[in-house]
Amino acid sequence: MSESNYALQARFEAKPDKTEEVAEFLESALPQAEAEEQTTTWFALRLDETTFGIFDTFPDEDGRQAHLDGEIAAELMDRADELFVEGPEIDEIEVLAAKH
């Protein structure tokens, strides 16, 4: 069993006038992600001018659920109407292989 078999992939489209605010929000969330003991890896991504994402991994389902119940997810959902064209698309993923 790997320390990152369980993952989440979130993708969201920022409103055109909110792109920099979304980028700043994601950058500012790093300390919260670092404080989550059960989060193995956490990446905030900019896929194009208005499309952003988060990819993170966990050792088990409990870690993944703790992250979904955590501060970053709560703030993301609280600000979704303000920042995004529509709600974030979040997929639960099984990691088959990883290099750390």
Write the pLDDT tens digit of every residue in 29-67. 999 999 999 999 999 999 999 999 999 999 999 999 999
> Does pTM top 0.75 for this prediction?
yes
Determine the straight-line distance between the first and last CA of the chain, rounded to whole angstroms. Answer: 14
Domain assignment of residue 1, yes or no? no
Q: How far is the C-alpha of 46 from the C-alpha of 59, rounded, in Å?
A: 25
Q: Count the domains in the chain.
A: 1
Confidence of residue 100 (pLDDT cuts 50, 70, 90): confident
- Residue 1: predicted pLDDT: 57
Helix (H) or strand (E) holding 50: none
Confidence of residue 69 (pLDDT cuts 50, 70, 90): very high
Domain assignment of residue 100, yes or no? no
CATH number at residue 80: 3.30.70.100
Q: Would you tell me the crossing angle of helices 71-78 and 61-68 to the nearest 10 degrees?
A: 40
pLDDT, averaged across the chain: 95
Domain that holds residue 57: 6-94
Tokens of 67: 């992250």
